[in-house]
Amino acid sequence: MSLDIKKNHSLKAHNTFAIESVADTFVTINSEEDFVEATSQFGDAPFVVLGGGSNLLFDQDRIHHPVFWINTKGIQKLQEDDNTVVVRAMAGENWHDFVLWCLQQGYGGLENLSLIPGSVGAAPVQNIGAYGVEVRDMIDQVEVFDLHDKTVRNFSANDCEFAYRDSIFKRSQHRRWIILSVSFRLTRHKHQLKLDYGAIQQTLQEAGLENPAIQDVSNAVIKIRQEKLPDPKVIPNAGSFFKNPIIGAETFRQLKEKYPDIPYFELPDNRVKIPAGWLIDQCGWKGKNQGDSAVHENHALVLVNHGHANGDEILALANSIKESVMHRFELSLAFEVNLGSEAVFSKD
């Protein structure tokens, strides 16, 4: 068995921002055996793990660490009972294609997460979520490769320490585990539809669907996302660039007094989530350009590349937005997108 290794390989096609960055060494991982061989061949040197590149900003023109592109494929049913099924998908599977496969089998739970770009392996890292659903609610186990002792182990959902757009895998001090596959526990018959978030209910009503099926919910989500968000294949972007800030009730009360029209979502533990897109829009950023980097004209949460922006230029725009939101609202925006310079894995 020999690894597929390329030198001086362009990463433009491997990130949805279409940033031109070059990898000194690019290794395609088509199987778990490939990964074990790659980590052995390159010794203990740090490396970068790349999946679908949908939540990543290459902020360097050149990547000197080896880049391991996870391209593992495969979906299998592990077990089922009267109303649930556990399905395992390899990390390199396209996320949306996997959701559609589940829907075709009649498996429910992931329909609200339709059309999210990226790979299955990236889903737990970000704890991806949309329209009132987070992927952690369906995850049964995450299979990982431990760089410390070169073994494979399984994490339960609790082990993953999921939080809002966060998990143990996203934190730099824990970049010792590489996700190999993810198992999901889904429903077979008695599906628990989540319809009360965003425009799903309205979209279903407009389609005349009073008793929607899981496929109907997926279609509604796809329609909403296509109308609301730019297609990365047409206008390169990484989706939502910032997380929605979560604040305490007292801080929110003070904001509400100053900005009566501020939108919000109440959370448990006396906390409130504020839409970052609204904050950015109020600061006048929607549709604004800085060279070829820009804020999308229809969605202030999405930064786009209009052709030739590099990672530094998009990062500079993002930081300018953060500064203006802090200045006006005294709220700190955190990046949802990962920076390539920080996505380095090591056994140490």
190 & 80 share domain = yes
Alpha-helix residue ranges (DSSP H) falling in 66-189: 95-104, 122-126
Catalytic residue among 165, 175, 185, 225: 165
Say how far apart CA 267 and CA 91 lie, in whole Å: 31
Catalytic residue flag (residue 165):
yes
Residue 344 lies in a domain: no
Model pLDDT for residues 144-156, shown as the tens digit of each residue = 998 888 889 999 9
207 & 335 share domain = no
Catalytic residue flag (residue 156):
no
Report pLDDT for 344: 84
Report pLDDT for 1: 57
Say how far apart CA 219 and CA 115 lie, in whole Å: 10
Number of folded domains in the chain? 3
Model pLDDT for residues 253-309, shown as the tens digit of each residue = 999 999 999 999 998 889 999 999 999 999 999 999 999 999 999 999 999 999 899
Q: Identify residue 128 by its one-letter amino acid code.
A: I
87 & 221 share domain = yes
Model pLDDT for residues 57-106, shown as the tens digit of each residue = 999 999 999 999 999 999 999 999 989 999 999 999 999 999 999 999 99
Across-strand partners of 282? Answer: none
209 & 303 share domain = no
> Which one of 177, 200, 228 terminates a domain?
228
Catalytic residue flag (residue 313):
no
98 & 185 share domain = yes
Token pair 């989530």: residue: 273
314 & 201 share domain = no
Residue 347 lies in a domain: no
209 & 127 share domain = yes
217 & 116 share domain = yes
CATH number for the domain harbouring residue 131 = 3.30.465.10
> Which one of 23, 52, 72 terminates a domain?
72
Catalytic residue among 21, 183, 218, 240: 240
Q: Is the pLDDT of residue 172 over 80?
A: no
Residue-number span of the structural domain to which 67 is assigned: 4-72
Do 95 and 52 touch, CB atoms closer than 8 A?
yes
CATH number for the domain harbouring residue 35 = 3.30.43.10
Confidence of residue 340 (pLDDT cuts 50, 70, 90): confident
31 & 132 share domain = no
CATH number for the domain harbouring residue 299 = 3.90.78.10
20 & 132 share domain = no
Do 202 and 73 touch, CB atoms closer than 8 A?
no
